[in-house]
Structure 1
Amino acid sequence: MSDVDREEACEPAPVPGHMSADLAGYRWMRDRVGQSGGSVFRLHGKLNGPDAFLKHGQDALADDLSDEMVRLRWLAGYISVPALISFTRTSDEAWLVTTAIPGKTAYQVLEADPAAGLAIVDALAVFLRRLHAIPVCACPFTSDHVYSLARARERLDAGLVDVEDFDDERKGWTAEQVWEEMHRLLPFAPDVVVTHGDFSLDNLSILDGEVTGCIDVGKAGIADRYQDLAIMWNCLGDFDRSLQERFLRQYGVVDVDWQRLQFHLMLDEFF
């Protein structure tokens, strides 16, 4: 998907009255990637105003935005994340406005310049090691596989799992088939760290060959390190297998635990 396809110009979305003045003067672009039913807008072009992003969600998605807001505040003390501009929550809706991180997504950079792949992968590995080095004892959020399995089951039972979006290895599978196959990979001994939770190419920004920060941190918390390794490994497979191998090696994985990697890939199918 090209940059043009990933977003489109749009009219300003309805926001609570007290937010209108702060958002006046911006040009709006709707993001067409991700957010599972929520809305994401890039706000730019305001005189003397920073580029920003607005996320809006209802019901469970409003809860997700609340989770992201508190994690942004906490992570800002350790790594580069968007700065919080404003957050508004009602009983069933939420609006989150943050600054834009400089650069383009790692996906955009790799798509535009495949020759930069090795350098970009190395930078991603360095950033992930820095994230995983945050002291677990300082993290107030739990996102381990036991917690995630409970959420996955809730989504499966509610019919919220998009089977059409399964990875190629599981095309044509039902959600129950993935659930059963995933459980055949249990138990395993997790190696817990502070994880991002959705460490994908779309959620990392790159400028001049360096990672300038990460976005979409609503799932951040203590979990098995393969939660992050598996998602990035999967993303890099869209470009070149050698990049997958390079990423794991540069991160510091000597012997790949394929059982844990595959478990987390299957778990991700439910979100």
Structure 2
Amino acid sequence: MDVEREHPCPPPSLPSGIAADVAGYAWARDTVGESGGTVHRLHGKTGAPDLFLKYGRGTVANDVTDEMVRLGWLADHSQVPRVRTFLRTPNEAWLLMTAIPGRTAYQMLVAHPDDRPAVVAALSLYLRQLHAIPTAACPFNADHGFRLSQAKARIDAGVVDTDDFDEERTGWTADRVWDAMQALLPMAPDPVVTHGDFSLDNILIEDGAVVGCIDVGRTGIADRYQDLAILWNCLGEFGPALQDRLFSSYGISEPDKRKLDFHLLLDELF
């Protein structure tokens, strides 16, 4: 398993509005969850904190912009990266952020096998706290109707990466995923404030507790299984016992398999 999930690299070409802020740093490129953009970790500058830089072009620039806006809102509810610099042109976006302390949940599960049940308990507690934020306080919609419209646009534009589908859907087309989702509708919503991409690489842990989250561009009001399904799927790499523990720690005795299946299919299209 690749615990670090990043590789050293030279600095990319940068606009002048950011170049001065990142002088003197070593660069590493993140290989996880780039979704068509790039993510770099900037580190090793004496007396300076680590930083992250996200870059997107075209529609991905809109995703980077969405994340910048959501970081500002989430800062009142959870520890998230602080925006240092944001630059936007009609076709490009750069988002420079502070790093959150700690290690990702994925790193913790790999490095400390004996602590895996405690890590899942910490993730469940944090997820319950996130889902308890009053929906009236959240200005962002991410329900399955909205996400379906985005997914259809991505299918029609031919930008769905079918080579990145989960193993059980190897060889599927995007249209087949769409048809499988339609067969699971209608779905009664259970709206909460969701992270939107609650994967093991997006949650930071320190001293046994979740200290914050990253990659929040999809944050918004949606069914709670938007988060539960993605986390449950990630935990499958470490065995079904941890998947079961997720639901028992969260407080669900009988997981809704229909909603699990729907949200995992939906996630394939992004």
TM (norm. structure 2) is: 0.98
CA deviation after TM superposition for structure 1 residue 83, in Å = 1.1
How far, CA to CA, are the matches of 1:181 and 1:49 in structure 2?
A: 49
Alignment of 1:60-139 (within 5 A): 60-139=59-138
AA aligned opposite 1:56: Y
**1:231 aligned partner:** 230
**1:40 aligned partner:** 39
Alignment of 1:192-211 (within 5 A): 192-211=191-210
CA deviation after TM superposition for structure 1 residue 169, in Å = 2.0
Q: Does 1:2 align with 2:11?
A: no
How far, CA to CA, are the matches of 2:268 and 2:173 in structure 1?
A: 11
Structure 1 unaligned blocks of 5 or more: none
CA deviation after TM superposition for structure 1 residue 26, in Å = 0.7
Q: Deviations over 1:43-64 (max 9, x none)?
A: 0111221111001110111100
CA deviation after TM superposition for structure 1 residue 131, in Å = 0.5
- Is the CA contact 2:3–2:110 (under 8 Å) kept in the aligned structure 1? no
Structure 2 unaligned blocks of 5 or more: none
**1:260 aligned partner:** 259
AA aligned opposite 2:3: D
- Is the CA contact 2:135–2:193 (under 8 Å) kept in the aligned structure 1? yes
Alignment of 1:19-34 (within 5 A): 19-34=18-33
How far, CA to CA, are the matches of 2:185 and 2:140 in structure 1?
A: 23
Q: Deviations over 1:97-133 (max 9, x none)?
A: 1111111111111112222110000000000011001
**1:148 aligned partner:** 147
AA aligned opposite 1:17: S
Give me the identity figure in percent.
59
CA deviation after TM superposition for structure 1 residue 158, in Å = 1.2
AA aligned opposite 2:28: M
Size of the aligned set, in residue pairs, is 270
- Is the CA contact 2:54–2:94 (under 8 Å) kept in the aligned structure 1? yes
CA deviation after TM superposition for structure 1 residue 178, in Å = 1.2
How far, CA to CA, are the matches of 1:168 and 1:115 in structure 2?
A: 27
AA aligned opposite 2:268: E
**1:13 aligned partner:** 12
How far, CA to CA, are the matches of 2:180 and 2:56 in structure 1?
A: 32
How far, CA to CA, are the matches of 2:174 and 2:17 in structure 1?
A: 42
* Greater mean deviation of Cα atoms: 248-257 or 238-247: 248-257
How far, CA to CA, are the matches of 1:182 and 1:169 in structure 2?
A: 15
Q: Deviations over 1:11-47 (max 9, x none)?
A: 1111111221111111111111221221110001112
CA deviation after TM superposition for structure 1 residue 252, in Å = 1.1
How far, CA to CA, are the matches of 1:150 and 1:50 in structure 2?
A: 39
Q: Deviations over 1:116-175 (max 9, x none)?
A: 110000000000011001110010000000000001011111111111211122122221
CA deviation after TM superposition for structure 1 residue 201, in Å = 0.2
How far, CA to CA, are the matches of 1:218 and 1:18 in structure 2?
A: 23
SS at match of 2:186: coil
AA aligned opposite 2:8: A
How far, CA to CA, are the matches of 1:261 and 1:251 in structure 2?
A: 15
- Is the CA contact 2:17–2:87 (under 8 Å) kept in the aligned structure 1? no
How far, CA to CA, are the matches of 1:3 and 1:267 in structure 2?
A: 27
* Runs of 4+ off more than 6 Å: none
How far, CA to CA, are the matches of 1:65 and 1:76 in structure 2?
A: 17
Alignment of 1:165-176 (within 5 A): 165-176=164-175
SS at match of 1:118: helix
CA deviation after TM superposition for structure 1 residue 181, in Å = 1.0
SS at match of 1:56: strand
TM (norm. structure 1) is: 0.97
* Greater mean deviation of Cα atoms: 223-232 or 250-259: 250-259
CA RMSD, Structure 1 to Structure 2 (Å): 1.0
* Greater mean deviation of Cα atoms: 74-83 or 158-167: 158-167
- Is the CA contact 2:104–2:201 (under 8 Å) kept in the aligned structure 1? yes
How far, CA to CA, are the matches of 2:211 and 2:67 in structure 1?
A: 19
